[in-house]
Copies of this chain bind each other. A is one copy, B any other.
Amino acid sequence: MNTAGVALKVELVTIGDELLLGFTLDSNGAHLARELAAIGVTIARRTSVGDDASAISEAVRDALDRTGAVITTGGLGPTSDDLTKPSIAGLFGREMRMDHAILEALRQRWLARGWGKELPKANEQQALIPEGATVLTNRHGSAPGILLEDDRGRWVAMLPGVPREMKGMFAEELLPWIQARAARGVQGDAADAAVVVSRTIRTTAIAESVLAEQVAPALGDLEGLSLAYLPHWPGVDLRLTSAGRPGGESLARLDRAEAALRRAIGAGVYGRDNDDLAAVVLELLKVRGYTMAVAESCTGGLLGGRITAISGSSHFFVGGVIAYSNEVKATHLGVGDDTLIQYGAVSEQTAREMAMGVRARYRADVAASITGIAGPGGGSAEKPVGTVCAAVDVRGEVTTARRNMVGDREEVRQRSAQWALDLVRRRLG
């Protein structure tokens, strides 16, 4: 989203042994960072600590000293590991008090779920709230969030560690508070004071250096904005940021810049901000009323996995064939034995017959196929590891392509699924 943003610097502190020790990836921290960056908040530093009262307290104290604004996730549950509230209450010199309204709500929830007659003692501590705190309502679970502010205006917001609960509470409770607070602090009574806004333009299957050449003619239209290249496996994102201008002016600049970049890059742009390429493809299928099927060799199901990750995909995606062995390619997709012998399983010819085969047999309007060498073994001089072929069949019109992907086995596979989605997008776009 290209929401008008806020001039604010925040640090994130994510809490939990599993996180610190790498058993869990910090998707909570990444989600908050993206959401905050999208409204122009500066993320100064991210820290992860374990379930340890003094580690939590020190990390939050250090972060507060640097920025005066901290968001934590984790450690709000009922078990003895959950130390976030008392550790941070201690920093603010606040006592813990039982909140009887929250306790009653926890009891009702417990009864309603049929988990038992009586709320266990351990769960009661979820109703302990530091004095003077604002409670952030949890509509997706039991642990309430906490917002503590001191008399110098420094604040810590504590969110739960369960991603679903954290995301809901952030969007419904904390984000509006941050926006209102920043508006008050920065704007005084002017409705259109200085803000930071940003927008991300997403591209895939274009090398960063090629993209830079394409963007060059548009640089004149980016005056007053900063442009960052953010390469990752789904492609290269371009982030535009406007700082310190009145909101309306900044948004107009972003609109002009986005239009200029889209003109310069052309069909390479697949979306903006958090758009997922699979969702973009599903939207194109919807517009045309088309259905889609897939035939996957080296990706082994990842392309289907990407599409079905999108809620509602069942209206347009019928399914497909994971054709890992040559026998499956021949028997269940109708790839010719001649084709497999003459060109090999990894060839544009085989990809073509895979796409045609699955489209006909699964009675879809559109089909995409992938066959490649994900490695680490199986490469040759002519077809090194990373060689991937793909085809797209739209109602009988088939296009094919070949590419060399860099990265390890998993990167090659993920990039291949993304590339195949992009080929479909370009055909339907």
User: Which residues of A line the B interface, CB within 8 A?
Assistant: 17-18, 20-27, 29-34, 37, 43-50, 55, 59, 62, 163-164, 228, 230-232, 237, 294, 296, 298-305, 307-309, 311-314, 317-325, 327-328, 332, 361-363, 374-377, 407-411, 413
Contact = CB atoms under 8 A, between A and B. Distances in A.
B317 A320 contact: no
Contacts of A22: 29-34, 37
A196 to B, nearest CB: 13
Contacts of A408: 163-164
Contacts of A232: 18, 23-24
A2 to B, nearest CB: 16
A421 B403 CA distance: 32
Contact of A21 (B34, B163, B299): B34
A299 B317 CA distance: 13
B324 A322 contact: no
A163 B59 CA distance: 27
Given A332-B362, A362-B332, A230 B305 contact: no
Each complex incorporates copies of this chain amounting to 2
Contacts of A411: 164
A211 B213 CA distance: 58
A23 B34 contact: yes
A324 B317 contact: yes
Given A22-B29, A55-B44, A237-B23, A294 B322 contact: yes
Nearest to A314: B324
**A-B residue pairs, 9 tightest by C-beta:** A300-B308, A301-B301, A301-B304, A22-B33, A22-B30, A22-B34, A319-B324, A319-B328, A301-B305
B320 A322 contact: yes
6 contacts: A20-B33, A45-B49, A301-B322, A314-B325, A317-B324, A319-B328
B323 A319 contact: yes
B302 A305 contact: yes
A314 B372 CA distance: 13
Given A47-B46, A305-B299, A25 B23 contact: no
Contacts of A59: 45
Given A301-B305, A305-B300, A409-B309, A321 B322 contact: yes
